[in-house]
Amino acid sequence: MEDTVPYITAKPLSDTRWECRLESVKALRYQMSEIREALFVVADESWDPMVKAEAESLANFEVGNFEFILTTIIWYDILFAANTVSKSLQSANVQLDVAVQQIKGLVTYLTKYRDTGFPSAVITAKEIASAMDVEQVFKQNRNRQRKRQFDYESRDEGTLSAEQSVRTGYFLCIIDQAITSMNTRFEQLQQNDTLFGFLYNINTMRQLNDDDLLKCCMDLDLALRSESSRDLDGADLCAEVNIFRKIVPESVRTAIQCLQYL
């Protein structure tokens, strides 16, 4: 099988790391034909009836299925974009405002992909299916009869083509879930940036006038305060930051190191 699929090794799906998930899907995305051929080889050469049957089933009804090819392409596009941002956010030197912009950019990409991604993925899937000699059709599911509650409801209401069903029932579903998840993270990061951002960017810190700096420090004081404890004094923090922003050089890294002593 390794001789048949020489470039990217097929890997089990990881439940944790984005990059591992991406690599798992990447092997299928770019070696679909080779992996299918490898499954046929396993089916032909195996003496185990169970292995032979499973390999033939995977080759004919999974990897050799047009909808499987299409969904693999969709998943790869989403995982690739998410992993690119994830790797950036895991950097030890990433700044809070940069992280906010990265998440915002991912949301923008997913929103655009929601409008244009499906037809583009269908075109790519048809190209791959054609090269694999796989029939380029969507399976038409049997429509369940739904009891009408009102006389004006059409009997054909909710009837979709097989392609439309995949788009609405699969593509839009996972895209909307991804956008919702990223929006939640974006809002959380944006809130943190609003509270802590002025401490992590020396340029922003220098541009604040005394009143704005005091407000930022007092807002942080209030956010970290509880009924029984107070982590910092906003007025004292403002005084300390005022000193440091006047003497710290134009270096974000140096600024953060200095602020650690507050």
* Residue 57: Cβ-neighbour burial (10 angstroms; 0-12, 13-18, 19+): middle
**Band of residue 16 on the pLDDT scale cut at 50, 70, 90:** low
Domain extent for 218: 201-259
Q: For residue 51, what is the DSSP state? A: H
Evaluate whether residue 155 is within a structural domain. no
Q: Is residue 150 part of a domain?
A: no
Judgement on whether residues 245 and 183 belong to the same structural domain of the protein: no
Residue 106's pLDDT is 92
**Is residue 144, in this structure, part of any structural domain at all?**
no
Mean pLDDT of the chain: 79
Poorest-pLDDT segment among 64-68, 109-113, 139-143, 244-248: 139-143
pLDDT band per the 50, 70, 90 thresholds, residue 261: very low
Mean pLDDT of 73-98: 84
Is the model's pLDDT at 25 over the cut of 80?
Answer: yes
- Is 213 inside any structural domain? yes
99 and 123: one domain? yes
Q: How far is CA 191 from CA 3, 184, 224, 260, in A?
A: 52, 11, 13, 21
- Say yes or no: 133 and 206 in one domain: no
**Where do the H-state alpha helices sit in 58-95?**
66-89
pLDDT value for 14: 52
Same domain, 189 and 97: yes
Judged against a pLDDT cut of 90, whether residue 116 lies above it is answered with yes
The pLDDT score that the predictor gives to residue 152 is 43
Write down the pTM of the prediction: 0.70
Average of per-residue pLDDT across 89-94: 75
Q: What is the structure's pLDDT at 11?
A: 56
For residue 214, pLDDT beyond 70: yes
Residues 238 and 217 sit within 8 Å (Cβ to Cβ)? yes
Query: Band of the pLDDT at 249, cuts 50, 70, 90?
Result: low
Give the residue, 95 or 57, on which the prediction is more confident: 57
pLDDT at 156: 46
- Domain count of the chain? 2
| Residue 45 domain flag | yes
- How far CA 170 is from CA of 134, 161, 166, 180, 208, in Å, comes to 21, 14, 5, 16, 48
Higher pLDDT, 8 or 114: 114
| Cβ contacts of 114 within 8 Å, gap of 6 or more | 172, 175, 176, 179
Q: Is residue 12 part of a domain?
A: no
The predicted-structure confidence for 29-79, as pLDDT tens digits, reads as follows 998 998 899 899 888 988 988 998 998 999 888 899 999 999 999 999 999
Task: State whether 168 and 205 are in the same domain.
Answer: no
Asked if residue 95 has pLDDT above 80, the reply is no
Question: What does the H/E/C string look like for the chain?
Answer: CCCCCCCCCCCCCCCCCHHHHHHHHHHHHHCHHHHHHHHHHHHHHCCCHHHHHHHHHHHHHHCCCHHHHHHHHHHHHHHHHHHHHHHHHCCCCCCHHHHHHHHHHHHHHHHHHHHHHHHHHHHHHHHHHHHHCCCCCCCCCCCCCCCCCCCCCCCCCCCCCHHHHHHHHHHHHHHHHHHHHHHHHHHHHHHHHHHHHHHHCHHHHHHCCHHHHHHHHHHHHHHHCCCCCCCCCHHHHHHHHHHHHHHCCCCHHHHHHHHCCC
